[in-house]
Amino acid sequence: AQSVTQLDSHVSVSEGTPVLLRCNYSSSYSPSLFWYVQHPNKGLQLLLKYTSAATLVKGINGFEAEFKKSETSFHLTKPSAHMSDAAEYFCVVSEDSNYQLIWGAGTKLIIKP
């Protein structure tokens, strides 16, 4: 069965410092993995997706994520945080066998000036 664990409910960083949002998944088959961002009182926007091509995936707004099968991880990173990055981030897994999406609980990213 699929599952997604976002290891931190809140992450706080200073503007200009690196961002790391951690995600571990469990999947019996070849998964597709996604990161979505949700700004306060807004809808969901796709940041990036992994679908069995390159393991390092580049997304929008300077974010990237690396698929590590041996560690069953798909952590999201950004070299330098910006105030506009303050939002909630969701890690999502989908198995090719059933295509249903399983969502992590979300990580709230707080940017300190």
Partner 1 sequence: NAGVTQTPKFQVLKTGQSMTLQCAQDMNHEYMSWYRQDPGMGLRLIHYSVGAGITDQGEVPNGYNVSRSTTEDFPLRLLSAAPSQTSVYFCASRTDLSGNTIYFGEGSWLTVV
Helix (H) or strand (E) run with residue 79 in it:
none
Residue 51 touching partner 1 (CB under 8 A):
yes
Please identify which residue in 65, 94, 109, 111 interacts with partner 1, judged by CB under 8 A.
94
State which residue, 42 or 69, has the beta carbon closest to partner 1.
Answer: 42
Q: Does 96 help bind partner 1 (rule: CB under 8 A)?
A: yes
Name the β-bridge partners of 35.
48, 91
Terminal C-alpha separation, the chain: 41
Question: Can residue 64 be called a binding residue for partner 1 (CB under 8 A)?
Answer: no
DSSP 100: -
Of the pair 20, 105, the CB lying nearest partner 1 is at: 105
Q: Which of 16, 39, 42, 55 binds partner 1 (CB under 8 A)?
A: 42
Among residues 6, 30, 3, 1, which one has the least CA distance to residue 90?
A: 6
